[in-house]
Amino acid sequence: MKGVSTREGTPEGGCTVVEGGGFVVDEAAVIARVRAGEPEAYAELVRAHTNVALRAAVAFGAAVAFGAGADAEDVVQSAFLKAYQSLGRFRDGADFRPWLLRIVVNETRNTVRSAVRLRALAGREALLLGSEPLIPESADPAVAAVAEERKALLRAALDELSEEQRQVVTYRYLLEMDEAETAEALGWPRGTVKSRLNRALRKLGRLLPGLLPGKGGEEQ
């Protein structure tokens, strides 16, 4: 699950950029190959989307008291398996990434519910920004302290949002998905995405005026 860039692109022709300039060319063709009896082709989709799937598992898991690390990797592996088993129901012409992330989010929630039933969770590490590079030990301790404080403030502010607001902020900004992809992943109309995102940003602006300048205002 390594070797995937932290920012996926979708250049002309529907290709997905991976590290080193490689591409998954025409995802519809890859899916068609899998359906036609070439299961090894599925590895191309796994390589292209593992990074964003891991980030989604961490982000949505954190929102419901779920840790990262090995748990997130297990969730993603399970989600890719379920996506593979469900390719026969994948709608031709649809975008693969939002469809996959819906499976990742559902798998994350199921894993959390199972974990809560099995053990009492001690503490709560909401690693919403866990995919960001760690500050090196040589960095100025004051800079590290400020960064940690900003993360703590963001985690606390996100907890103040409704579930729907937290979802749309996570897809749009933590997972860097555009409005259309967010709408497809959440199953909402684009107008709903826009209005809920605006309300969420206004609320975050009031909670974090120093981090989100100019986003204040009254929630509607």
pLDDT digits (tens, 9 = 90+) for 139-185: 555 655 666 677 777 778 888 999 899 999 889 988 889 999 999 99
Domain ranges for the chain: 1-131, 133-220
Among 57-71, 74-88, 91-105, 126-140, the range scoring the smallest mean pLDDT is: 126-140
With a cut of 80, say whether residue 50 has pLDDT above it. Answer: yes
**Beta carbons of 62 and 125 less than 8 angstroms apart:** yes
Q: How far apart are CA 99 and CA 90, in angstroms?
A: 8
> Over the chain, what is the mean pLDDT?
75
CATH class of 1-131: mainly alpha
Of 155, 148, 154, the closest CA to residue 63 belongs to: 155
* Confidence (pLDDT) at 76: 94
Distance (Å, whole) CA 168 – CA 145: 28
Q: Does the domain spanning 133-220 belong to CATH 1.10.150.120?
A: no
Contact 155, 211 (CB under 8 A): no
